[in-house]
């Protein structure tokens, strides 16, 4: 796969800076990790209640913000934070880092459908937690691009399992 071709002539730097800036806005919200994790997982379980077998939580745990679930949700958002921080000027390096995450995800039972559903839920979550000024159609497009870029390389890396 050619990382540059993935962006189809669009400006990678513009996309990355839009994602990073909007993520910084999310991080200004109090207890952003708990809030974002709870909202993201609620969206994921609303979209596809039975899809999330890689996680040890039910839709009820998510709905009721069960304590163990909240600890996990917070950790999951920290992972997302790490992934956003991995974004940098060299997209080939980001692609390699994503490929390295692929095999572990394949072992967790994560499939292409999970990436697709999580990508949708992520878009809804950003819309919910950010103001319309900070989450414009262009912001959403940039997140979609980055998320599908990351997903594509993680799935590519998973092929080695």
Report which of 16, 33, 161 is spatially closest to residue 101, judged by C-alpha positions: 161
How many residues touch ligand HEM under the rule CB under 6 A: the total is 17
| Beta strand segments in 14-144, E | none
3-class secondary structure, 31? coil
Q: In whole angstroms, how close is the CB of 133 to ligand HEM at the nearest point?
A: 26
Considering only 40, 99, 110, 135, the residue that binds ligand HEM (CB under 6 A) is 110
Considering only 71, 82, 93, 112, the residue that binds ligand HEM (CB under 6 A) is 82
Q: In whole angstroms, how close is the CB of 48 to ligand HEM at the nearest point?
A: 10
Dihedral sign, Cα of residue 94, residue 100, residue 102, residue 108: negative
The pair of three-digit structure tokens given for residue 139, joined into one six-digit string? 């912001």
Q: In whole angstroms, how close is the CB of 1 to ligand HEM at the nearest point?
A: 15
Of 31-60, binders to ligand HEM (CB under 6 A) are 54-55
By rule CB under 6 A, what string of x and - marks binding of each residue 111-140 to ligand HEM? Answer: ---xx--x----------------------
Report which of 110, 114, 161, 146 is spatially closest to residue 6, judged by C-alpha positions: 146
């Amino acid at each position: 796969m050619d990382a540059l071709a993935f962006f189809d002539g669009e400006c990678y730097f513009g996309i990355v800076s839009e994602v990073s800036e909007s993520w910084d806005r999310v991080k200004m919200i109090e207890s952003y990790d708990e809030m974002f994790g709870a909202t993201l997982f609620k969206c994921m379980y609303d979209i596809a209640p039975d899809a999330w077998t890689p996680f040890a939580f039910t839709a009820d745990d998510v709905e009721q913000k069960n304590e163990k679930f909240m600890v996990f949700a917070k950790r999951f958002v920290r992972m997302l934070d790490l992934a956003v921080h991995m974004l940098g000027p060299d997209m080939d390096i980001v692609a390699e880092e994503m490929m390295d995450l692929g095999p572990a995800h394949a072992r967790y039972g994560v499939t292409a459908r999970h990436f697709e559903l999580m990508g949708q839920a992520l878009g809804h979550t950003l819309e919910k937690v950010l103001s319309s000024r900070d989450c414009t159609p262009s912001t959403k497009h940039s997140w979609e691009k980055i998320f599908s870029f990351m997903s594509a390389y993680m799935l590519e890396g998973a092929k080695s399992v």
